[in-house]
Amino acid sequence: MCHSARWHGPSFGELQMSSGTLPAAIHRGAFVLVLLLLALPAWSADPPSSGVLGRGTAWETNYYAQTSDRAGPTVVITAGVHGDEPAGAAAAEQIRHWPIVCGKLVVLPLANPPALAARTRTIPGAAAPQNNLNRNFPKTGQPGPPVGDQAEAIWQWLQVLQPDWVVDLHEGFGIRAAGSKSVGSSVVVRPDAAADAAVERMLAAVNATIDRDDKRFVRLGPPIDGSLARAAAEHLAAQAMILETSIQDLPPPVLKPAPQAKPDAAKPPHQPLSRRMRQHRLLVHALLTHLKMVDSTLQVDRVAGRAAAPDKTWVALYDAGGTGGQGGAAVERILAGAGMRVVRVGPEEIAAGSLTNFDVAVFPGGSGSKQAAAIGAPGREQVRQFVERGGGFVGICAGAYLCTSGFEWGLKLFDAKTISPKWQRGAGMLQMELTPAGRDIFGDRPMLLDVRYQNGPVITRAEIEAVPDYEVLAFFRTEVAQNGAPAGVMLDSPAIAGGNFGQGRVLFVSPHPEQTPGLEDLVHRGAQWAAGKP
Ligand SMILES: [Zn+2]
């Protein structure tokens, strides 16, 4: 059974229909209710509904509400308060699709759209100290008002919802358990017995996925004064907490440091965004499980895609083990800029069958064999099935190695093998030339295109019966052959090629158009082609 609910006050309709302030909404409540009754068809039950905060402002943003027929707690998830902490917003966008079995789940994925767009912690253009949205909510001993229009609108919205639980998704930089001063990898909550059981369960769920003690999530608290979570706890009597993932990762353990090693010299590696999103999902899922608001059919690693906007092209961008460099971020910027919806995925999301919610999977630069090892045999089978049943595959450099058929670890989606086992051919600007088929996909372009190259595959046909032949879309017209790689074989070999696998399409891209100024649109045209969309 669900935990019992308390009375939850005015309906969403009042919020949705009031573009003004809350007192105005309450005064107009009766009138609005009559309007609603007139407007709603008789069969309308309590479907997932959404609304808008800050309509007409620069920070206009959507929230999403689901109300179950069965009574239960009201849980509000907020994210994207700080614009340089992307994992919470991306995770909340997935969490909002989770079906609940009791109570009410309300999700505000993008609390601070201008800061998210600018990737800044603070509100762009706002004066300090008011520009930190998470210091603008009513402070201890001060019932209000909040500071600034944004905090005021969010606070009024929260007051109407009368939440039992408020969970605000953030990110820290360093990992607290490893000695960082940052609050990264923690649950920040008041020392309050009512939340203890839930917090313990949440920490256990996320820490079960972390194999090093110095990366584990810890409990901290209370939330800082002026934060949304602290205000909700103190002024709305909600159980409220801040979830913090860590943007930075720890370097792999070094058994015996080299004498000249300068530990501060190297930038700490980042944790893949897909992993940080997953940690937010695991924490929220454990809370909702504790509250009996979700049932065992919910798969926490099966991420939502296409259903949210079926008219868009949905791209699953692999960002975990075996990726490296700036390629993935560049691909995301280009595809999102072209109107596609890009979601980061890692091995767990692929293994859970998430690709079926997408039109195309993109594997960027790094190491093909390491990507193959990271997703494992089950992940490779998922990718193969996805393409066989009509999905698109785009492999760039390492991802291009990954789709080939000559390596034991290859996906064997593409009837090619590398000419030489020596892969460290070198890096630099090379020239390639589109074929007529390439011009059909990528547009009419000059004879020779400069393109950035870094150790990408040099291929020939593998002549595998089960995989159809590929068509060359661009040829290398210059080459590099360093580190003992054979000279001559790269010249006039395929730089870009397309093939079919089952119902799906595979785009092989050896060089880096996503990191070549002027060639960015090859990436989205290629993804569109692989997705099978005009
Ligand atoms: Zn934050």
pLDDT per residue over 88-102, tens digit each?
Answer: 999 999 999 999 999
Rounded average pLDDT over 341-351: 98
Question: How much distance in Å is there from the Cα of 235 to the middle of ligand 1?
Answer: 21
At 49, is the pLDDT very low, low, confident or very high (cuts 50, 70, 90)? confident
Rg (CA), the chain: 25
CA of 217 to the centre of ligand 1 (A): 16
**Element holding 330 (H helix, E strand):** helix 327-337
In the prediction, which pLDDT does 266 show?
57
Instruction: Look at residue 251 and give its three-state secondary structure.
Output: coil
- Per-residue confidence (pLDDT) for residue 290, from 0 to 100: 97
CA of 11 to the centre of ligand 1 (A): 30
Query: How far apart are alpha carbons 485 and 480 in whole angstroms?
Result: 9
Q: Residue 175 C-alpha to ligand 1 middle, in angstroms?
A: 14
Q: How far is the CA of 82 from the centre of ligand 1 (A)?
A: 5
CA of 110 to the centre of ligand 1 (A): 13
pLDDT at 103: 97
The pLDDT of residue 144: 80
Cβ-count burial 250-285 (b if 16+ within 10 Å, e if not): beeeeeeeeeeeeeeeeebeebbbbbbbbbbbbbbb
With contact defined as beta carbons under 8 Å apart, do 486 and 479 qualify?
no
Residue 399 has pLDDT above 90, yes or no: yes
pLDDT digits (tens, 9 = 90+) for 349-398: 999 999 999 999 999 999 999 999 999 999 999 999 999 999 999 999 99
Using alpha carbons, select from 230, 241, 248 the residue that is nearest to residue 179. Answer: 248
User: How large is the average pLDDT for residues 147-154?
Assistant: 96
Determine the distance separating the centroid of ligand 1 and the alpha carbon of 214, expressed in angstroms. 21
Query: What residues pair up with 342 in beta bridges, in sequence order?
Result: 315
**The pLDDT of residue 177:** 96
Mean pLDDT of the residues in the chain: 89
Residue 78: strand pairing partners: 108, 168
121 C-alpha to ligand 1 centroid (Å): 7
Separation of CA 168 and ligand 1 centre (Å): 9
Topology of domain 12-253+267-290 in CATH is Aminopeptidase (3.40.630)
CATH fold for domain 306-530: Rossmann fold (3.40.50)
Over residues 128-144, the pLDDT tens digits come to 989 999 999 999 999 88
Q: Among residues 307, 310, 332, 328, which one has the least CA distance to residue 319?
A: 328
pLDDT in tens, 197-216: 999 999 999 999 999 999 99
CA of 247 to the centre of ligand 1 (A): 11
Query: CB-based burial of residue 7 (10 Å sphere; 0-12 exposed, 13-18 middle, 19+ buried)?
Result: exposed
Which amino acid belongs to residue 247?
A: I
* Statement: residue 298 has pLDDT above 60: yes
- Distance, in Å, from the CA atom of 527 to the CA atom of 519, rounded to the nearest integer, reads 14
172 Cα–ligand 1 center, Å: 7
For 34-48, the pLDDT digits (tens) are: 344 343 333 333 445
Q: How many helices (DSSP H) and strands (DSSP E) are in the chain?
A: 15, 19
The tokens describing 259, both together, are 């004498």
pLDDT, tens digit (0-9, with 9 covering 90-100), for 460-474: 999 988 899 999 999
Confidence of residue 194 (pLDDT cuts 50, 70, 90): confident
**Where residue 192 falls among pLDDT bands split at 50, 70, 90?**
confident
Question: Sign of dihedral through CA atoms 97, 163, 231, 62?
Answer: positive
pLDDT of residue 109: 98
Distance 303 CA to ligand 1 centre (A): 23
Q: What is the pLDDT of residue 498?
A: 98
With cut-offs at 50, 70 and 90, classify the pLDDT of residue 18: very low
85 C-alpha vs ligand 1 centroid, how far in Å? 6
CA dist list (Å): 313 to 209, 388, 392, 534? 31, 18, 11, 11
pLDDT, average across residues 439-458: 94
β-bridge partners, 51: 63
* CA of 493 relative to ligand 1 center, distance in Å: 49
**Cα distances (Å, whole numbers) of residue 493 to 431, 460, 489, 511:** 12, 7, 7, 12
> Given this model, what pLDDT does residue 14 score?
35
Closest-CA residue to 46 (of 105, 124, 122): 105
Please give the distance, rounded to the nearest whole angstrom, from the Cα atom of residue 189 to the centre of ligand 1.
14
Q: Rounded to the nearest whole angstrom, what is the distance from the C-alpha of residue 236 to the centroid of ligand 1? A: 21
Rounded distance from Cα 499 to ligand 1 centre (Å):
44
Residue where the block lists tokens 């990264």: 184
Amino acid at residue number 381: E
Quick one: pLDDT band at residue 10, thresholds 50, 70, 90? very low
Q: How far is the CA of 138 from the centre of ligand 1 (A)?
A: 17
Among 146, 242, 135, CA closest to 199: 242
CATH code 3.40.50.880 region(s) in the chain: 306-530
26 confidence band (pLDDT: 50, 70, 90): very low
- Write the CA distances from 165 to 244, 277, 284, integer angstroms: 17, 20, 11
The environment of the single-atom ion ligand 1, i.e. residues with CB closer than 5 A, is 82, 85, 170
**18-32, 137-151, 433-447, 515-529: which range is least confident on average?**
18-32
Distance 79 CA to ligand 1 centre (A): 9
| CATH 3.40.630.10 placement within the chain | 12-253+267-290
pLDDT at 524 over 90: yes
| CA 381 to chain CA centroid, nearest Å | 23
Cα of 477 to ligand 1 centre, how many Å?
49
- 329 CA distance to ligand 1 middle (Å): 21
What gap in Å lies between CA 219 and CA 192, rounded to an integer?
12
Classified as helix, coil or strand, 308 is helix
Residue 10 or 289, more confident: 289
Per-residue pLDDT of 239-289, as tens digits, reads 999 999 999 999 887 666 555 545 444 567 899 999 999 999 999 999 999
Over pLDDT 70: what percentage of the chain? 88
Which residues have CB under 8 Å from 180's CB, separation 6+? 172, 173, 174, 246, 248
- How many whole angstroms from 130 Cα to the centroid of ligand 1? 15
CA–centroid distance, 92 to ligand 1, in Å, is 14
- Separation of 305 CA from ligand 1 center, angstroms? 26
